[in-house]
Amino acid sequence: HDLMAIHPYNPLEDPYSLYPHSLRNIDELCASIVRSHRETSQYRVEELHALRWKLFNREEIQAYQSKSVDEMWQHCAIRLTEAVQYVVEFAKHIPGFRMLSQNDQIALLKTGSMEVVLVRMSRLFNTENNTVFFDGKFAGTEVFKSLACGDLITAVFDFAHGMCALKLTEQQIALFSALVLINADRPCLEDKGRVQRVQRSVEFGLTHILHRDNQESLMHKLYQRVAVLRSLCSLHMEKLRWFSQRYPLTAHSLFPPLYKELFA
């Protein structure tokens, strides 16, 4: 009982005071991230499972392939922007996100929203035939041929395949998505410290559910995926710069404003 005198309690040295969470708070944090994921996930897994074999037929694939480069880019930019809008809604409901300055919220979304779209894409992916649910049916890489960025499409499909192999639960996907978004190392943050505190709480939440699911070894694999996401997003930006140079008018006047705001 003299331990307290020798080692007086210093809250700054208590790792748990960095994350002011009781176990109950962690459960609440996870539950609210999972709820937010569910409410903004665009499609439910059961719904998608039922549509698993609804593929585009030959004529429909033909129709996508005979679109011009700029027509197909515009079409995909619109679909991508819809998906991003759901991610923005998701972000707003991550505990702590709304407390960040508007500048920092935008900075996190600029770099993270595309990454979360790609994480979410794995939910819409059928590994048995390498197709993704796009425009109401399942589409293989050939559907995206007229975008003229085959390397990006292949890399994105490979990523989805790799994510599916991890067989994450919806809860794990929700926490991982939040972690991808709330990253204190993103450029242009005003209040890095505050973002760091939110990041730690989300990390703590993910650790908690992996522990509960007896799958702690997934943490390492998930961090490896994060590195792949970075490279996919820089490839996306590279393609966008290429496209904007070639088709400045489409990029300027026909892309959705949110797409331009986030990526241009």
Q: Which CB sits closer to ligand CLR, 144 or 204?
A: 144
Min CB(223)–ligand CLR separation in Å: 22
Provide, rounded to whole angstroms, the least separation between the CB of residue 230 and ligand CLR.
Answer: 15
Q: How far is the CB of 215 from ligand CLR (least distance, A)?
A: 24
Closest CB to ligand CLR among residues 192, 230 = 230
**Binding interface with ligand CLR (CB under 6 A):** 42, 73, 76-77, 79-80, 83, 117, 120-121, 124, 132, 134, 147, 152-153, 156, 236
Smallest separation (angstroms) from ligand CLR to the CB of 95: 23
**Choice between 204 and 255, CB closer to ligand CLR:** 255
* Of 153 and 222, CB closest to ligand CLR: 153
Nearer to ligand CLR (CB atom), residue 83 or residue 202: 83
Distance from C-alpha of 33 to C-alpha of 43, rounded to nearest angstrom: 17
> Measured from the CB atom, is 121 or 222 closer to ligand CLR?
121
- CB 25 to ligand CLR: min, Å: 30
CB of 240 to ligand CLR, least distance (A): 6
Who's near 208: CB < 8 A, 6+ residues apart? Answer: 26, 27, 30
